[in-house]
Amino acid sequence: MAACKAKTMPQWPHEYRVRKFQDPKEEQALFEQAVTFIRACGDRRIFEPTGKSAAYFDSDGRQYWTLGVDRHVNRPGPFAGPLRFV
């Protein structure tokens, strides 16, 4: 799954993956499993600059989070290739 570098918040470099309805069914299912996993195994944290809550999961020194919708998975830079859900 290819990730995009976020441009709207340059002070917090990160990249994200958006679930697209035209993606193959297998990729959509994998994406939904990743969102479910982050929410079930992660914890709720507040992003201080906005005060918004999100589900976060830490793995291998990286942090993944998902917002209130089921369409985004984010991770901070440095950018190390595509998001991989196993």
Model confidence, pTM: 0.71
Instruction: Determine what percent of the chain is predicted with pLDDT higher than 90.
Output: 5
Question: What is the distance between the alpha carbons of residues 57 and 20, in angstroms, rounded to a whole number?
Answer: 22
pLDDT in tens, 45-64: 887 777 888 888 988 888 88
Domain boundaries, the chain: 4-76
> Percent helix, strand and coil across the chain, each rounded to 5?
20, 35, 45
Residue 41 confidence (pLDDT) above 90:
yes
Beta strands in 22-69 (DSSP E): 43-47, 52-59, 62-66
